[in-house]
Amino acid sequence: MIGKRQKGMIITEVWSMDRADRIFSNYIRLRADWKCENCGKNFENNKGQLHNSHFWSRVRMSTRFDPDNCMAVCWHCHFFKLEKEKQGIYRDLMIKRLGNEHYNTLRIKSNTLQNKRESIKEFMALMRVDPLAKMAIRYQDNGIKRRNS
């Protein structure tokens, strides 16, 4: 639940990390129209094989839920091509997508400390204004499970 009314005020409940991760993963894959952003293969009929790959590690709360930090990639590209080449092929792909200036801004953001609660709240705010948000939340609530993120 995003919010509930109490005496005329909306009280916002912060999602659990698991819920936020699942919604974010679906959001990234929906944004890519269920296609691998590296090889272009379509995974609409095999959604579990399309991963949400974080360029800067998920451990970094400041970029964990930043859509610019993530790409929808198939398991093969994720583990055999990109994950092993964070400072090679994957870095080049991110710079191509974002441009040098935005890539550097994201790099700096990834080194900024942020706690889990603030990270989730920032993501929840994005979900309120993005048109894909309701669809990503609906996918999560209807039981489409994330296998990898």
**CA 31-33-35 angle, 5° bins:** 115
Both tokens of 84, joined, read 């092993």
Rounded distance between C-alpha atoms, residue 6 and residue 9, angstroms: 5
Note the pTM of the prediction, 2 decimals. Answer: 0.82
Both tokens of 78, joined, read 């994720």
pLDDT at 102: 97
Both tokens of 56, joined, read 């800067």
Residues 64/58, Cβ–Cβ less than 8 Å: yes
* Domain layout of the chain by residue ranges: 21-27+42-141
pLDDT at 6: 43
SS3 122: helix
Mean pLDDT by 10 residues, the chain (149 residues): 45 85 94 95 92 96 97 94 86 95 97 95 88 76 51
